[in-house]
Amino acid sequence: MEEYYHIIFRTCFLYVFIIIVFRLMGKREVGELSVIDLVVFVLIAEVAAFALDDFKNPLFNAILPIIILLFIQILSAYLSLKFKKIRDLVDGDPALLVKDGVILESEMRKHRYNLDDLCQQLRENGVASVTDVAFAYLEPSGNLSIYKKDEKAFVYPLIIDGDIQERHLLTMHKDVDWLMGELAKNNITNSETVFFCIWEDHKLHIQLKES
């Protein structure tokens, strides 16, 4: 009978403990999990499974690896927040799959994304034909962001946390010199002082970093 009480205690303790750990990791949708998030979650599940399967090992042997994984996840999240290059390395960058109604076959092949997947996501977004699409981006989460040709305007993130998004400038048929000229009109000489900058309704919307 004592063994059953031991099983119940371990199960309930690990259940509550893992919930607390996941809460400390922060809120993210399942579809938005990064590679590191996924690896950490899988490893935590494996550690918990071993702890429930082998009751001879001390419970601390399961708690310690989970705490270490928690700190790894928090550290990676902090570094991703502070450094965009690390964020791009961990989460990946959106990929342009459709431009002006033309499917970019090389990008499709690069990301191992087939035509069936593309057509399915177009249908799910209420798009009847790829020719109606101005731009379609494959997000790191696997979702497809679609901008139709008949939409009034597009929003282009040009600077994110001080980092110039040259691929968006290329899409707009602009370059870095043009962007710096526009920033100069707003008395901004260094792009690294910009926290967020977008091009919307034919003008820049700029938010500077907090001092």
Q: Do 55 and 135 lie in a common domain? A: no
- In this predicted structure, the answer to whether residue 171 has a pLDDT above a threshold of 80 is no
- Give domain status of residue 211, yes or no: no
Tell me the per-residue pLDDT of 9-25, one tens digit each, with 9 for 90 and over: 888 888 899 888 888 87
The whole model's pTM is what? 0.55
Q: Do 14 and 85 lie in a common domain? A: yes
> In this structure, what is the dihedral angle of CA atoms 102, 106, 112, 115, given to the nearest 10 degrees?
30
Q: How many domains does the chain have?
A: 3
Tell me the per-residue pLDDT of 31-84, one tens digit each, with 9 for 90 and over: 556 677 778 888 988 888 888 887 777 888 888 999 998 888 888 877 877 776
Q: Do 43 and 120 lie in a common domain? A: no
Query: Is pLDDT larger for residue 106 or for residue 30?
Result: 106
Q: What percent of the chain has pLDDT over 70?
A: 90
Q: Do 72 and 131 lie in a common domain? A: no
Measure Cα distances from 39 to 31, 70, 90, 158 in Å.
14, 12, 12, 31
Query: Is pLDDT larger for residue 202 or for residue 158?
Result: 158
Q: Do 85 and 16 lie in a common domain? A: yes
Mean pLDDT of the chain: 82
Tell me if 7 sits within 8 A of 55, measured CB to CB: yes
CATH of residue 163: 3.30.240.20
- Cα(8)–Cα(99) distance, integer angstroms: 57
pLDDT of residue 32: 59
- Give domain status of residue 72, yes or no: yes
Last residue of a domain, one of 101, 116, 146: 146
Q: Which long-range contacts (CB under 8 A, 24 or more apart) does 35-42 make?
A: 35/90, 35/91, 36/72, 36/73, 36/76, 36/90, 37/73, 40/69, 40/72, 40/73
Q: How many CB atoms lie within 10 A of CB 97?
A: 25
Domain with 1, as residue range(s), is 1-90
Q: Do 53 and 101 lie in a common domain? A: no
Q: Do 4 and 66 lie in a common domain? A: yes
Q: Do 4 and 85 lie in a common domain? A: yes
